[in-house]
Amino acid sequence: MRKVIFVILLVGAAMGLSGQLMGQTVCPGFSIVVNTPEDELTLAYNGAENPQEQVEALDKFMQAHADSKFVPCAEEYYTMAYLKLNNYDKVIEHGEKALSLNQRDVMVTLNLAKAFVASGKVSDSAFDALLGATDALKTEGTLSRPTNISDEEFKKLQEEVATQAKDWRSYVEYAFFQLIQREPDGNKRVQWLEKFAQTYGDTPNVGQLNFNFFLAYKMANQADKEFEYGEKAVTSDPGNAFAANLLAYDYAFTRNNPDRAAELAKKALEAAQAMKKPEGVSDEQFKADQNNQLGMAHLTLGYASYAKAAAAKSRKVDPAIEDLKAAAELLAANPNLQGQANYLLGNAYEFSVPANHAGAIDALTKAAGSANPWQAEAQDLLGKVKKAAKK
């Protein structure tokens, strides 16, 4: 008997994963008897000149030996071949079949995860594979000492295996956080995140976990949990401008807490100013993203300043006007928030002493002239300001 060993290289692209993941053993624990159909398959697969020929060899085997105990392993081979062909739907199809047959080794998990990440799709089976990979990660990341090897050589092998296991784990977490953002149901997001936290309680990605809990609870309309995890997110990852901005905005517009909103918006402004352009992102896209974060921070700061002035019955809204003007300029790529900024700016101009009708009309005309949630209110106020300006 001889054990069949194949190697596949899986490229990782995030969370500190660079270069190539080390090779994984295919179907660990499966042994093949010489001169059997399974042996013929492995020889044909190994000897194929391209992935399409590998698929054809697998098809031939499956048609003739559908009842073979080797079928789960054949499904795993399919994921390897189709991944080379960039046929992600087929990788998912056969990866899910492998899972249904309890074939849950590292190779199946990573190939299936890579296919889901690349395809833009998501399903329960993807999360099931990622969260069910812990045993395989531990088992295949453990090295038994080979015979006739020196202590120094064994130590080097242990280090290589430890690095390999760390890379596997990093990709599993990377894939999970990529896919959780595609789950449209907030309650299901919460459930998968809770399972992730139980399964990978020692994750180094606490900031990402808290931020995704924050978003999930927000989607699920669980306000108390939303704010709890929003605070955790900005504490565990102070450089996340979006987390600080989103929480600041919610404090301002749903909790009517301008003081806390302003504190968080200032943090968001600092984080946005310090943003670094990620690899693979164009200068234009990065600038648009940064401007959106800067604009959102100025929007919240402007509203908070305006709200505090109104509550104090003070007409000193110059700071609010400056922030709202900056927000309206920076949010050009976000018509909804830009509309809100211009609507609030119109209010602030009209609230000042003396009222700046011209400034209010200009801002409200912009807010009323584009499709956004504030359009109707802007049109109504614009009519009133125009009448006041004629008196």
What is residue 25's predicted lDDT score, i.e. its pLDDT? 66
For residue 8, with 0-12 CB atoms within 10 Å meaning exposed, 13-18 middle and 19 or more buried, which class applies? Answer: middle
pLDDT, tens digit, 9 for 90 and up, residues 168-184: 999 999 999 999 999 99
What is residue 20's predicted lDDT score, i.e. its pLDDT? 36
pLDDT tier for residue 139 given thresholds of 50, 70 and 90: confident
pLDDT, tens digit, 9 for 90 and up, residues 43-101: 999 999 999 999 999 999 999 999 999 999 999 999 999 999 999 999 999 999 999 99
- Give the mean pLDDT of 11-36: 56
Residues 30, 129, single domain; the answer is: yes
- Give the mean pLDDT of 289-302: 98
Instruction: Please say if the pLDDT value at position 313 is more than 70.
Output: yes
What is residue 1's predicted lDDT score, i.e. its pLDDT? 31
Please state, in angstroms and rounded to a whole number, the distance separating the CA atoms of residues 376 and 370: 10
Domain endpoint, select from 182, 206, 230 = 182
Instruction: Please say if the pLDDT value at position 149 is more than 90.
Output: no
Residue bearing the bigger pLDDT, 16 or 259: 259
Domain tally, the chain: 2
H helix runs in the chain, sequence order: 37-47, 51-64, 71-84, 88-100, 106-119, 124-131, 134-140, 151-180, 186-199, 206-219, 223-236, 241-253, 258-273, 283-311, 318-330, 335-351, 357-368, 375-390
- Tell me, yes or no, whether 224 lies in a domain: no
What is residue 345's predicted lDDT score, i.e. its pLDDT? 98
71-84 and 37-47 helices, crossing angle to 10°: 10
Please state, in angstroms and rounded to a whole number, the distance separating the CA atoms of residues 177 and 193: 9
What is residue 19's predicted lDDT score, i.e. its pLDDT? 32
Name the residue with tokens 């956004």: 372
Residue bearing the bigger pLDDT, 391 or 225: 225
Residues 8, 142, single domain; the answer is: yes
What is residue 21's predicted lDDT score, i.e. its pLDDT? 40
What is residue 210's predicted lDDT score, i.e. its pLDDT? 98
- Tell me, yes or no, whether 131 lies in a domain: yes
Please state, in angstroms and rounded to a whole number, the distance separating the CA atoms of residues 278 and 134: 30
Type of residue at 122: V
- Tell me, yes or no, whether 65 lies in a domain: yes
- Tell me, yes or no, whether 189 lies in a domain: no
Q: What mean pLDDT value characterizes the chain?
A: 91
pLDDT tier for residue 7 given thresholds of 50, 70 and 90: very low
Which domain does 25 fall in, by range?
2-182
For residue 118, give the CATH number of its domain: 1.25.40.10
Domain endpoint, select from 164, 182, 200 = 182
What is residue 32's predicted lDDT score, i.e. its pLDDT? 84
What is residue 3's predicted lDDT score, i.e. its pLDDT? 31
Residues 13, 159, single domain; the answer is: yes
Q: What percent of the chain has pLDDT over 90?
A: 80
What is residue 162's predicted lDDT score, i.e. its pLDDT? 87
- Tell me, yes or no, whether 191 lies in a domain: no
What is residue 201's predicted lDDT score, i.e. its pLDDT? 93
* Per-residue b or e along 62-75, where b marks 16 or more CB atoms closer than 10 Å to that residue's CB: beebeebebbbbbb
Domain endpoint, select from 145, 163, 182 = 182
51-64 and 71-84 helices, crossing angle to 10°: 160
Residues 70, 158, single domain; the answer is: yes
Instruction: Please say if the pLDDT value at position 209 is more than 80.
Output: yes
Sequence-distant (6+) residues with CB within 8 A of 329 are: 295
Q: How far is CA 47 from the centre of its chain?
A: 39
- Tell me, yes or no, whether 212 lies in a domain: no
Output the pTM of the full model: 0.87
Distances (CA, A) of 176 to 117, 207, 231: 9, 14, 22
Please give the DSSP secondary-structure letter assigned to residue 185: -
Residue bearing the bigger pLDDT, 133 or 1: 133
Residues 177, 278, single domain; the answer is: no
